[in-house]
Chain A
Amino acid sequence: MSFDSLAGQLLAPLDDLMAVLPLPGMEYGWHRNALLAALLVAPMCATLGIQVVTFRMAFFSDAVAHSAYTGVALGILAFGTHATVGVTLAMMAFGVLVGLGVAVLRERSRQAPDAVIGVVFPAVVALGLVVTALASDRGLTATMGPFLFGDVLNMTAGDVLFLALLAVPVFVFQAAGYNRLLLIGLNPVLARTRGIRTGVWSAAFAALVALVVTGSVRTVGVLVVGGLLVAPAAAARNVARSAGGMFWWALVFSTISAVVGVELAFVLKKAPTGPVVILCATVIYGLSEAWRSAHKR
């Protein structure tokens, strides 16, 4: 049995439930898959976004997202254009490698963190461009499209299950690390005196961000995935009153962005789904800023 048909069977009850939702487009299987994928990716990114904002890692996550482009090129070169699983794994592995590489360099180098990322980021993209050009006769360019711009309307049940599996470590990590990362953000020395291994947690976080961002690029695209990470978390910080509330607001804002974005793109017909989701998240962020200044907080 292929992974896709197994996923189809596993997700069948959920799919039936989705089919009766009173939303436009629920009669189409591809639309249901798109909504499910968005509903998995958006909250996953948004909760990690809380720490991305805390640790000022927005630029880092953008760089890692762009490394997906190079990862895909290398994956296609290694496994061929049709080995989706191999290419996806290669992309994620490459992303984690770049993420950890930047994390180590940031620790060791005397340069400012954004300078380190500013060196690695273009280098990684340049490598991707060189690889795609050198291997242009192998149908590489056409295969890259879905990764660059997102391809949420062609998601299979297997893709959705893959995202669900990716969500497991994210939420386990949040359950174990939310307080610890918060304390590290407040004062790393205090965290270390409390027995928190700051280096291990920072590296694990960098790796997880890389994993999630690269795992999400087929849903929303390399160019805009950063928006899902930062915008809902930033909006949550504007309206939340406590450290715990921030988590739930980020979940709520990202879920609204996912549902409204996918449905709006369906109704507008020609609009690309991923970018519409990002625009929704951006509008919510704008509203949160307005709310904040109106409440003088």
Chain B
Amino acid sequence: MPSGTISHGAACVLGHAIEIEGVSVRLDGVNILENVNAGVPMGKLSALIGPNGAGKTTLLMTMLGLLPHQGAVRFCGCGPHGSGVPRVGYVPQRLDFDRAAPISVLDFMCVAIQGRPLFLGRRRSLSRRGREALARVGAEKLAERPLGRLSGGELQRVLLAQVLLEDPHVILLDEPVSGVDAAGEQLFLDLVREITAPGERTVLMVSHDISVVAERAEHVIALNRSVVAQGPPREVLSTEVLLELFGVRVHHLGACADRDHGSAAPAKPCSCGHDHSAEGKQP
């Protein structure tokens, strides 16, 4: 029987925000996750990558305490001496509602934090908090718009604003850029980087998009039922790991060039130690 634990405010290795130790999840007789061990560095943007069915979302749900599991998930103490219980926020991939529902963006901001039923009005203080959070993601103009009228990118920003309402130490993002156009994706990732920037907020983002990960993430966990590799992007996003992960050669857009050398020295050999000439040739 699953006897896993999830602890908040645990003692961890210095510099870790989350530690995942020996986590296994079995659903309907199928092993979705097997002995996952990973550490998520504090104050950084980490990405969780892997093919479809690798268990990325399952791992996220497990960390949120929503699935029976074995092993331990530790959200590390966030105070000055490693004490203090961290607040954990979750950003879903999308909302399930029909677009005709008369729910405004500000309704959505208030619905999760307001005890008083919405039909007795939104609390003024909470509306203000909602507008402030929307302003942080550049969406203050959307406050009165119906949720169903938002574009994919706008909805993503509103979802991000929603998680900022409670100023979480750790944010778990589920496939944040799927279904958003390129410009919206860039804007969203800039925002994510901005909210992580103070170094105190930890973001773990599930992603399909290797180029996005290569460009933005500071730490990568490659998952395929168990952890295939983890570390800085230039180490993890090697041809060998990607081949093992996805079963095909995946071309990622110059992870090393952007990160280590900039565009000034494109001809220099890449420090990540693998041959880029092999990439881009799909078998």
Residues of A within 8 A of B (CB): 54, 174-176, 178-179, 182-183, 185-190, 192-194, 237-238, 240-248
Provide the residues of chain B in CB contact with A240, threshold 8 Å.
Answer: 102
For the complex formed, measure the closest distance between the CB of B210 and the CB atoms of chain A, giving whole angstroms. Answer: 25
Sample of 20 further A-B pairs with CB below 8 A, known A179-B118, A186-B96, A244-B119 = A54-B101, A178-B119, A182-B103, A182-B107, A186-B103, A186-B108, A187-B94, A187-B95, A189-B66, A189-B90, A190-B112, A237-B102, A241-B146, A242-B103, A242-B118, A243-B104, A243-B119, A244-B118, A244-B121, A244-B122
By the criterion CB–CB under 8 Å, are A243 and B90 in contact? Answer: no
By the criterion CB–CB under 8 Å, are A193 and B66 in contact? Answer: yes
Q: Provide the B91-131 mask, 1 if CB < 8 A to any CB of A, else 0.
A: 01011110011111001101110110111111000000000
Q: A174-B117, A189-B64, A193-B64 are in contact. Are A241 and B102 (CB under 8 A)?
A: yes
Q: A190-B92, A242-B107 are in contact. Are A247 and B119 (CB under 8 A)?
A: yes
Q: Is B180 interfacial (CB-CB < 8 Å)?
A: no
11 contacts between A and B (CB under 8 A): A54-B97, A175-B117, A179-B112, A179-B114, A182-B111, A183-B112, A187-B96, A190-B112, A243-B111, A243-B119, A247-B117
For the complex formed, measure the closest distance between the CB of A168 and the CB atoms of chain B, giving whole angstroms. Answer: 16
User: CA–CA, A182 to B112, complex, Å?
Assistant: 9
User: CA–CA, A176 to B114, complex, Å?
Assistant: 11
Q: Is B6 interfacial (CB-CB < 8 Å)?
A: no
For the complex formed, measure the closest distance between the CB of B119 and the CB atoms of chain A, giving whole angstroms. Answer: 4
For the complex formed, measure the closest distance between the CB of A230 and the CB atoms of chain B, giving whole angstroms. Answer: 14
User: CA–CA, A237 to B146, complex, Å?
Assistant: 12
By the criterion CB–CB under 8 Å, are B96 and A185 in contact? Answer: yes
For the complex formed, measure the closest distance between the CB of A190 and the CB atoms of chain B, giving whole angstroms. Answer: 5
By the criterion CB–CB under 8 Å, are B96 and A178 in contact? Answer: no
Among A176, A183, A189, A247, which residue has the most Cβ atoms of chain B within 10 A? A189
Q: Is B61 interfacial (CB-CB < 8 Å)?
A: yes
For the complex formed, measure the closest distance between the CB of B204 and the CB atoms of chain A, giving whole angstroms. Answer: 14
Name A's interface SS.
helix
Name B's interface SS.
loop
Which of the residues A178, A185, A188, A192 comes within 8 Å of B118, measured between beta carbons? Answer: A178
Provide the residues of chain B in CB contact with A183, threshold 8 Å.
Answer: 111-112
Q: A179-B117, A186-B95 are in contact. Are A246 and B111 (CB under 8 A)?
A: no
Provide the residues of chain B in CB contact with A174, threshold 8 Å.
Answer: 117, 119
Nearest neighbor of A248 in chain B, beta-carbon distance: B119
User: CA–CA, A145 to B94, complex, Å?
Assistant: 48
For the complex formed, measure the closest distance between the CB of A247 and the CB atoms of chain B, giving whole angstroms. Answer: 4
Provide the residues of chain A in CB contact with B64, threshold 8 Å.
Answer: 189, 192-193
Provide the residues of chain A in CB contact with B119, threshold 8 Å.
Answer: 174, 178, 243-248
Q: A193-B66, A243-B111 are in contact. Are A182 and B118 (CB under 8 A)?
A: yes
By the criterion CB–CB under 8 Å, are A243 and B103 in contact? Answer: yes
Provide the residues of chain B in CB contact with A194, threshold 8 Å.
Answer: 112
Provide the residues of chain A in CB contact with B112, threshold 8 Å.
Answer: 179, 183, 190, 194
Q: Provide the B57-80 mask, 1 if CB < 8 A to any CB of A, else 0.
A: 000010010100000000000000
Provide the residues of chain A in CB contact with B146, threshold 8 Å.
Answer: 241
User: CA–CA, A221 to B160, complex, Å?
Assistant: 47
By the criterion CB–CB under 8 Å, are A186 and B97 in contact? Answer: yes
Provide the residues of chain B in CB contact with A189, threshold 8 Å.
Answer: 61, 64, 66, 90, 92
Provide the residues of chain A in CB contact with B100, threshold 8 Å.
Answer: 237-238
User: CA–CA, A188 to B104, complex, Å?
Assistant: 18
By the criterion CB–CB under 8 Å, are B90 and A244 in contact? Answer: no
Q: A186-B103, A248-B119 are in contact. Are A192 and B66 (CB under 8 A)?
A: yes
By the criterion CB–CB under 8 Å, are B107 and A244 in contact? Answer: yes
For the complex formed, measure the closest distance between the CB of A295 and the CB atoms of chain B, giving whole angstroms. Answer: 12
For the complex formed, measure the closest distance between the CB of B232 and the CB atoms of chain A, giving whole angstroms. Answer: 29
Q: A178-B119, A179-B111, A248-B119 are in contact. Are A242 and B96 (CB under 8 A)?
A: no
7 residue pairs, one from A and one from B, having the closest CB atoms: A247-B119, A178-B117, A244-B118, A240-B102, A243-B107, A244-B119, A193-B90
Provide the residues of chain A in CB contact with B104, threshold 8 Å.
Answer: 241-243
User: CA–CA, A157 to B96, complex, Å?
Assistant: 44
By the criterion CB–CB under 8 Å, are A243 and B102 in contact? Answer: yes
User: CA–CA, A248 to B102, complex, Å?
Assistant: 13
User: CA–CA, A193 to B111, complex, Å?
Assistant: 14
Among A187, A192, A245, which residue has the most Cβ atoms of chain B within 10 A? A187
Please report which residues of chain B, range 173-219, place their CB below 8 angstroms from some CB of chain A when the two chains form the complex.
Answer: none
User: CA–CA, A188 to B120, complex, Å?
Assistant: 23
By the criterion CB–CB under 8 Å, are A242 and B114 in contact? Answer: no
Provide the residues of chain A in CB contact with B122, threshold 8 Å.
Answer: 244
Provide the residues of chain A in CB contact with B102, threshold 8 Å.
Answer: 237, 240-243, 245-246
For the complex formed, measure the closest distance between the CB of A296 and the CB atoms of chain B, giving whole angstroms. Answer: 12
Nearest neighbor of B118 in chain A, beta-carbon distance: A244
For the complex formed, measure the closest distance between the CB of A248 and the CB atoms of chain B, giving whole angstroms. Answer: 6
User: CA–CA, A176 to B88, complex, Å?
Assistant: 25
User: CA–CA, A174 to B96, complex, Å?
Assistant: 21
For the complex formed, measure the closest distance between the CB of A250 and the CB atoms of chain B, giving whole angstroms. Answer: 10
For the complex formed, measure the closest distance between the CB of A50 and the CB atoms of chain B, giving whole angstroms. Answer: 9
Q: A190-B90, A241-B102 are in contact. Are A185 and B66 (CB under 8 A)?
A: no
Nearest neighbor of A240 in chain B, beta-carbon distance: B102
User: CA–CA, A54 to B122, complex, Å?
Assistant: 20
